[in-house]
Homo-oligomer: A and B are copies of this chain.
Amino acid sequence: MMQLIDGKATSQTIKQEIADEVKHIIANGGKRPHLAAVLVGNDGGSESYVASKVKACEEVGFNSSLVRFNSDVTENELLACVQKLNVDSDIDGFIVQLPLPAHISEEKITEAIDPRKDVDGFHPVNLGKMILGMPCFISATPQGIMELLKRYNIETKGKHAVVIGRSNIVGRPMSILLSQKGVFADATVTVCHSRTANLKELCLEADIIVAALGKPKFLKADMVKQGTVIIDVGTTRVDAPDTKRGWQLIGDVDFENIAPKCSYITPVPGGVGPMTIISLLQNTLKAVKL
């Protein structure tokens, strides 16, 4: 029997848990968690991502701040802002929304963030600590997927997981997390990518497939065996003239045809997506406790 992994419902449940925890902290005289976001320019996508992050903060009782800059801000001005947030004791964690304008080095900005406030988990030190299994901030999408595996009690130990995609923010960390020692880990993991010669054969062997390559409906039904767990990380906007918005989100998985063969599958939208903001809230709460 195929079971849908409902990321939307799970994210609501966790939001409630976080809201309860915040109430508990406040009731015990603790500090209200405070997340800040830095937004440069006015790219539509970035605007709406940041807006939904601010909204999620409000829903769980966090304070939130938004620092805005015009797109002609200099790298030094932005670095000064990062420095200010680093030392502001009221700010528990902050993010600098990417992408940044071409004249600013994302690498430099990311490295300037105090790793203890880097709730996006993009700082090299947080990636390194993830490898070492040390306490750290893990980036939103991989952490959200790991949370879904836990919440749905999906066995990973000794299973063969195929991760399609090797990006720094999804594929790479997923392959590391799934193959580490521990519960909801301990999988045998194969990292696949654009150079992989025999992807279909590898996918047919997989007990778990994480599709994170960004190609709509790439993974077809004839590439998976019966009973596979499918995690679809793809979110490509595709024109859809019949819809109100004029576009819809399409995952990397041919959901309609694959779903009947799966044991578990995440839909798009409503699967991995809603979990990413949850990860950010969880990381901010973790930062408070540090």
Q: In the complex the two chains form, is A123's CB within 8 Å of B128's CB? A: yes
Note all chain B residues with C-beta closer than 8 A to A127: 124, 127-128, 131-132
Q: In the complex the two chains form, is B191's CB within 8 Å of A188's CB? A: yes
Q: How many residues of A contact B (CB 8 A)?
A: 36
Given the contacts A132-B168, A190-B188, A191-B175, A158 and B197 also touching, CB distance less than 8 Å: yes
What does the 1/0 interface line of A176-195 toward B look like (CB < 8 Å)?
10011100001111111101
The smallest C-beta distance from A158 to any residue of chain B, in angstroms, reads 4
How far does the alpha carbon of A74 sit from the alpha carbon of B176 in the complex, in Å? 34
How far does the alpha carbon of A98 sit from the alpha carbon of B134 in the complex, in Å? 18
User: A131's contact among B131, B134, B187, B195, by CB below 8 Å, is which?
Assistant: B131
Interface of A is mostly: mixed
Given the contacts A128-B124, A132-B124, A179 and B158 also touching, CB distance less than 8 Å: no
How far does the alpha carbon of A91 sit from the alpha carbon of B270 in the complex, in Å? 54
How far does the alpha carbon of A126 sit from the alpha carbon of B129 in the complex, in Å? 10
Asked if A28 lies at the interface with its beta carbon under 8 angstroms from chain B, I say no
Q: In the complex the two chains form, is B193's CB within 8 Å of A179's CB? A: yes
How far does the alpha carbon of A176 sit from the alpha carbon of B189 in the complex, in Å? 12
Determine the residue in chain B with the shortest Cβ distance to A186.
B195
Asked if A242 lies at the interface with its beta carbon under 8 angstroms from chain B, I say no
Q: In the complex the two chains form, is A189's CB within 8 Å of B191's CB? A: yes
- Chain A residues 192-207 with CB under 8 Å of chain B are 192-193, 195-198, 202
Asked if A157 lies at the interface with its beta carbon under 8 angstroms from chain B, I say yes
Note all chain B residues with C-beta closer than 8 A to A32: none
Q: In the complex the two chains form, is A180's CB within 8 Å of B158's CB? A: no
Note all chain B residues with C-beta closer than 8 A to A191: 175, 179, 188-191
What does the 1/0 interface line of A132-160 toward B look like (CB < 8 Å)?
10100000000000000000000001111
User: A160's contact among B134, B172, B179, B197, by CB below 8 Å, is which?
Assistant: B197
Spell out A's residues near B (CB within 8 Å). 107, 123-129, 131-132, 134, 157-160, 166, 168, 172, 175-176, 179-181, 186-193, 195-198, 202
Name 6 A/B residue pairs within 8 A (Cβ), A-sorted: A124-B125, A127-B131, A175-B175, A186-B193, A186-B195, A190-B190
